Amino acid sequence: MTKAIPNILLIYTGGTIGMIKDPETGALRAFDFDNLLVRIPELKLLECNIETTSFDEPIDSSNMKPEYWVEIAEVIEEHYHAFDGFVVLHGSDTMSYTASALSFMLEHLAKPVVFTGSQLPIGDLRTDAKENLITSIQVTALQHYNKPVIKEVCLYFEYKLYRANRTTKINAEHFEAFASLNYPDLAESGVHLKVNHEYLFKPNARKELLVHKTLDSNIALVKLFPGISEALLRSIFSTEGLKGVVLETYGAGNCSTEDWFVALLKDTIIKGVHIVNVTQCSGGSVMMGQYETSEKLKRIGLISGKDITTEAAICKLMYLLGQNVSPNLFKTIYQTALRGELT
């Protein structure tokens, strides 16, 4: 079999990787994508055909929103058959959210979609952008018998390839900005590019890509803290149109056993609002019922987020609400791993 040269589409959405310093204010802002390729002539040395496309107006990822997630999904959908893989350049601040959302939106994905970015702009002398971009392209181009090795949405940063919906941004300064505390790395870049094949997602090869574009953002993220007031929670839970809440609890999914608190959660669930229990800890899992302080939550019908990240929990909630899943099935489907996002 002759080895085919992979075709890779590079999608630039914005982020530090392509930013320059404004000479007047000194603040970083996105610049024209064409300049990005001029700055990395090494890309021509890679054994693949690279084409590029860019957001009309690249953004700092702090301005990211579901409409842009749909835009990225549509670019992938439009070019899905013409390319063997996709590299998405994205700001690191909300990269885990976008990449998690895309993992749900792209059902039966059978090609790599690798998100990357950098902590320093590509033009900076000490930049981490070149390694991140070059290795992301190499990972995306990996093939076995002319078929992609990676068949899921990933995030590559500082020598590691992660399952995207397992990642969290953990550091605003270190080059090692991301972690995947509840799932092993998919690949590591050292002298060799070592792929951990046993951890890769294996999609159903017989199904065609299905792109879901309806996301419902009528949700809230509530992080508990000792002393959180009843009035505050009441006002959040009675927000007009609210359909779901990701509740960040303590440890293995524990929270206050005070009557008003449990009654408020119970009434909210009875009203039809889905409440997902995720832990504030960076690693580990919710285990409702392990302590008395979570036993009641189980009884009143909270959904267990198990070991999902908050980022993936938010995106899964928006995705499933957009799917109009029947209320009876919602909890079971939420607690099922759809794209390898929970154990």
Residues interacting with ligand ASP, by CB under 6 A? 14-16, 60-62, 91-93, 117, 119
Please identify, using beta-carbon distances, which residue of 10 and 286 lies nearer to ligand ASP.
10
CB 123 within 8 A of CB 338: no
Q: How far is the CB of 121 from ligand ASP (least distance, A)?
A: 9
Q: How far is the CB of 17 from ligand ASP (least distance, A)?
A: 6
* Known catalytic residue at 16: yes
Please identify, using beta-carbon distances, which residue of 177 and 255 lies nearer to ligand ASP.
177
Please identify, using beta-carbon distances, which residue of 6 and 58 lies nearer to ligand ASP.
58
Please identify, using beta-carbon distances, which residue of 37 and 325 lies nearer to ligand ASP.
37
State the greatest distance between any 2 C-alpha atoms of the chain, in Å, as a whole number. Answer: 69
Nearest to 165 by CA among 26, 314, 17: 314
Q: Where are the alpha helices (DSSP H) in 81-229?
A: 95-105, 129-141
Q: How far is the CB of 170 from ligand ASP (least distance, A)?
A: 13
**Distance separating alpha carbons of residues 160 and 175, to the nearest angstrom:** 11
Place of tokens 């929970």: 342
Please identify, using beta-carbon distances, which residue of 12 and 330 lies nearer to ligand ASP.
12
Q: How far is the CB of 119 from ligand ASP (least distance, A)?
A: 6
The angle at the Cα of 48, spanning 43 to 50, to the nearest 5 degrees, equals 60
Q: Counting Cβ atoms within 10 Å, is residue 3 exposed (0-12), middle (13-18) or buried (19+)?
A: exposed
CB 166 within 8 A of CB 178: no
State both tokens at 95. Answer: 């990269």
Q: How far is the CB of 165 from ligand ASP (least distance, A)?
A: 18
Nearest to 317 by CA among 257, 267, 277, 282: 277
Q: Which residue lies nearest ligand ASP, judged by its C-beta? A: 91
Q: How far is the CB of 24 from ligand ASP (least distance, A)?
A: 19
CA distances from 160 to 64, 98, 132, 188, 259 (A): 24, 18, 9, 5, 46
Please identify, using beta-carbon distances, which residue of 22 and 47 lies nearer to ligand ASP.
22
Q: Are strands 7-14 and 49-59 parallel, antiparallel or unpaired?
A: parallel
Out of 2, 13, 16, 310, pick the active-site residue. 16
* Active site members: 16
